[in-house]
């Protein structure tokens, strides 16, 4: 009897790299979501930290009895400007002076407490004396303003030379 003719063993086609299995798609999506979540948390924490640092500096300014009222008001205005530049684009805040500065400070609070209230002391201080009661209410107003700063503003961008894109975030 003659043996049966056998054919060679046929191997299946090799498994390709593309498209990946569903498990790899799930892992990739999870990694991307985790990276986005961590980046968002870091950005939010940075903004919250800026507000906390500004509030601490405001507390130190309030407790400082060695400086005069005019110097306290100057330092208070500088603190508000620095906090504003941290929360909003520099171009929007840095050039403001006088009435425009006070009106801009009114925006987060929604009412004219700087331009028509106790906040006017920031402009009037060099020309008239400020009492302790006014200073305490002004510091309370500044504390409310710092707490009212938005935390969902886009990060500030570098100012670039004409003809170049401003894409790098400020450090």
Q: Over its length of 171 residues, how does the chain's per-residue pLDDT go in tens digits? A: 677 888 888 888 888 888 888 999 999 999 999 999 999 998 878 777 778 888 999 999 989 888 888 888 889 989 999 999 988 888 988 888 889 999 999 988 888 898 888 888 888 776 777 776 688 899 999 999 998 887 654 444 444 445 544 444 444
Residue 123 and residue 125: Cα distance in Å, rounded?
6
Q: Does residue 94 sit within a domain? A: yes
pLDDT of residue 139: 92
Residue 25 and residue 9: Cα distance in Å, rounded?
34
Name the residue range of residue 135's domain: 51-147
Which pair of structure tokens corresponds to residue 48? 């919250």
Q: Which residues contact 121 (CB under 8 A, 6 or more apart)?
A: 73, 130, 134, 135, 138
Which pair of structure tokens corresponds to residue 58? 């405001």
Q: Does residue 8 sit within a domain? A: no
Q: Does residue 84 sit within a domain? A: yes
Q: Whose structure tokens read 């305490």?
A: 136
| Contact status, residue 74 vs residue 130, Cβ threshold 8 Å | no
Q: Does residue 11 sit within a domain? A: no
Which pair of structure tokens corresponds to residue 38? 């961590």
Number of domains the chain is built from: 1
Q: Does residue 82 sit within a domain? A: yes
H or E element, residue 40: helix 22-63
């Amino acid at each position: 009897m003659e043996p049966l003719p056998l054919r060679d063993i046929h191997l299946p086609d090799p498994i390709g790299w593309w498209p990946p299995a569903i498990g790899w798609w799930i892992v990739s999506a999870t990694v991307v979501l985790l990276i986005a979540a961590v980046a968002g948390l870091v950005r939010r924490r940075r903004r919250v930290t800026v507000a906390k640092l500004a509030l601490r500096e405001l507390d130190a300014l309030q407790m400082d009895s060695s400086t005069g009222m005019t110097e306290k008001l100057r330092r208070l205005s500088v603190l508000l400007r620095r906090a504003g530049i941290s929360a909003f684009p520099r171009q929007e805040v840095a050039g403001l002076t006088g009435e425009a500065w006070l009106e801009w400070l009114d925006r987060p609070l929604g009412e004219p407490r700087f331009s028509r209230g106790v906040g006017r002391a920031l402009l009037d201080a060099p020309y008239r004396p400020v009492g302790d009661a006014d200073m305490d209410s002004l510091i309370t107003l500044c504390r409310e303003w710092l707490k009212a700063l938005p935390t969902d503003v886009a990060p500030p961008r570098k100012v670039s030379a004409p003809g170049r894109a401003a894409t790098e975030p400020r450090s």
